[in-house]
């Protein structure tokens, strides 16, 4: 599909400055909240008006853009909820002020495309600017969009990313719907819980992508999305995916899954693991990020980091020992049992 040249990630772990993914930061009240940076590239007058989703999205994007000689040819963001917290604040103001004079800031930043728009405004980028809102496949659709754009514009480059926050509104709805655990649990113990639901997460990850292999950190070879509740369909599609993308005698070095401690989702992950050779190591990442719709963006950042450094933290490994080389990593992610995706990332 394309090459990834730069990547940045604001997450609940030390992934932005002083990067250290070996040390694990724990959840508080079953929420893995991001470690926010200082946002040195954002004017303070603008920063104080930003909602959290916009702050972390812009904060992750601007260092990549500032390192470029020219602006990217497009900004493509995936998000499920965008500035939902600002949206709820605006709706509450309508009640509080009896539909009188309202503060416009919350309204302006309450739309899902506010993240991509703010990145474009701060970088004075008037090129292609769009936002994909597809719940658990929002980020994957942003990547597919970037891939299609690069097929038409061979010499172009794009900023693609995924952003979501833990908003009180969405957390409460998902909690009442049984998607977050009622019992308090440490992130390190997430996979041993054997109970329904997971822990909440949030984050932003951004990538500069183009068709040039030179100085690339990794290559996204293929991406597939599936809508189904059937584990059989998932495994059938995975077998077809691997047959198409891997040559004779080739195999992946490691399977990275979105296993999240939810006992209802475990059968999907076990079924996918069963498709692969038993010698393939299996790793997990949601004890680092928590569960949220666009966490595949953080997973892609982790894959790029692992391929670049040629090592993986021991706390991510589930089965077998880590391979001696990380040249091909397959990601399988599942959101609420109905939205599935595969990503194959290889060393550039």
Task: Identify the three-state secondary structure at position 16.
Answer: coil
Pair 321, 231: CB distance under 8 Å? no
Predicted pLDDT of residue 335? 98
The residue out of 184, 210, 236 marking a domain boundary is 210
> What is the DSSP secondary structure assignment for residue 269, as one 8-state letter?
H
The pLDDT of 2-18, averaged and rounded, is: 97
Domain match, 252 and 149 both: no
Entry pTM: 0.94
Q: Are residues 55 and 188 in the same domain?
A: yes
Asked if residue 348 has pLDDT above 70, the reply is yes
pLDDT in tens, 12-36: 999 999 999 999 999 999 999 999 9
Domain boundary among 210, 230, 248: 210
Q: Does one domain contain both 176 and 296?
A: no
CA distance 283 to 314: 9
d(CA 52, CA 75): 19
Structure tokens at 310: 């040629």
Choose one of 165, 193, 210: the last residue of a domain.
210
- Say whether both 84 and 184 belong to one domain: yes
Least confident of 42-56, 192-206, 285-299: 42-56
Is pLDDT above 80 for 229? yes
Proportion of the chain above pLDDT 70, given as a percent? 96
Average of pLDDT values for 261-277? 96
In order of 5, 21, 111, 148, 201, the CA distances from 211 in angstroms are 10, 29, 31, 11, 32
Q: What is the CATH number of the domain that holds 170?
A: 3.40.47.10
Query: In terms of domains, do 182 and 290 share one?
Result: no
In terms of domains, do 186 and 60 share one?
Answer: yes
Q: What residue numbers bound the domain in which 104 lies?
A: 2-210
pLDDT confidence band for 278 (50 / 70 / 90): confident
pLDDT in tens, 194-223: 899 999 999 999 999 999 999 999 999 999
Q: Are residues 224 and 205 in the same domain?
A: no
Phi-psi domain of 135 (left: phi exceeds 0; alpha: psi -120 through 50; beta: other):
left
Q: What is the mean pLDDT of residues 95-100?
A: 77
**Are both 194 and 286 inside the same structural domain?**
no
Number of domains making up the chain: 2
**180 and 317 part of one domain:** no
Torsion sign, CA atoms 47, 48, 50, 53: positive
Segment 98-105 shows an average pLDDT of 72
Q: What is the pLDDT of residues 123-146, one digit of tens each?
A: 999 999 999 999 999 999 999 999
Residues 8 and 134 in one domain: yes
Any idea of the CA torsion for 103, 107, 108, 114, to the nearest 10 degrees? 140
Answer yes or no: do 73 and 189 share one domain: yes
Q: Determine the pLDDT at residue 107.
A: 65
**Does residue 109 carry a pLDDT above 70?**
no
Give me the pLDDT at residue 50, please: 87
Same structural domain, 293 and 145: no
pLDDT level of residue 106 (50, 70, 90 thresholds): low
Q: What is the mean pLDDT of residues 64-93?
A: 84
Mean pLDDT of 154-170: 94
pLDDT of residue 168 exceeding 90, the answer is no
């Amino acid at each position: 599909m394309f090459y990834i040249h730069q990547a940045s990630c604001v997450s609940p772990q030390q992934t932005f400055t002083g990067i250290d993914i070996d040390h694990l930061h724990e959840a508080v009240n079953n929420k893995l909240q991001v470690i926010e940076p200082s946002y040195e590239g954002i004017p303070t007058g603008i920063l104080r008006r930003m909602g959290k989703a916009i702050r972390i999205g812009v904060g992750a994007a601007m260092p990549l853009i500032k390192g470029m000689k020219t602006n990217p040819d497009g900004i493509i963001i995936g998000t499920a909820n965008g500035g939902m917290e600002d949206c709820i604040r605006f709706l509450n103001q309508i009640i509080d002020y009896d539909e009188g004079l309202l503060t416009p800031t919350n309204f302006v930043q309450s739309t899902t495309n506010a993240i991509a728009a703010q990145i474009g405004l701060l970088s004075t980028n008037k090129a292609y600017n769009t936002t994909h809102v597809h719940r658990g496949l929002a980020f994957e659709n942003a990547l597919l969009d970037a891939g299609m754009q690069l097929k038409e514009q061979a010499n172009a480059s794009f900023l693609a990313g995924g952003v979501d926050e833990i908003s009180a509104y969405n957390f409460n709805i998902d909690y009442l719907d049984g998607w977050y655990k009622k019992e308090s649990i440490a992130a390190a113990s997430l996979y041993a819980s054997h109970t329904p639901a997971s822990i909440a997460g949030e984050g932003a990850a951004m990538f500069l992508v183009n068709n040039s292999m030179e100085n690339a950190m990794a290559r996204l070879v293929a991406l597939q999305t599936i809508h189904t509740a059937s584990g059989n369909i998932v495994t059938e599609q995975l077998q077809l995916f691997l047959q198409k993308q891997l040559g004779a005698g080739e195999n992946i070095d490691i399977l990275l899954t979105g296993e999240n401690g939810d006992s209802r989702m475990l059968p999907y992950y076990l079924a996918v693991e069963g498709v692969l050779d038993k010698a393939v190591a299996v790793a997990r990442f949601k004890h680092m990020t928590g569960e949220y719709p666009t966490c595949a963006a953080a997973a892609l950042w982790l894959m790029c980091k692992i391929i670049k450094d040629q090592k993986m933290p021991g706390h991510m490994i589930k089965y077998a020992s880590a391979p001696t080389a990380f040249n091909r990593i397959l990601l399988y992610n599942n959101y609420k049992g109905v939205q599935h995706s595969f990503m194959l990332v290889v060393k550039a």
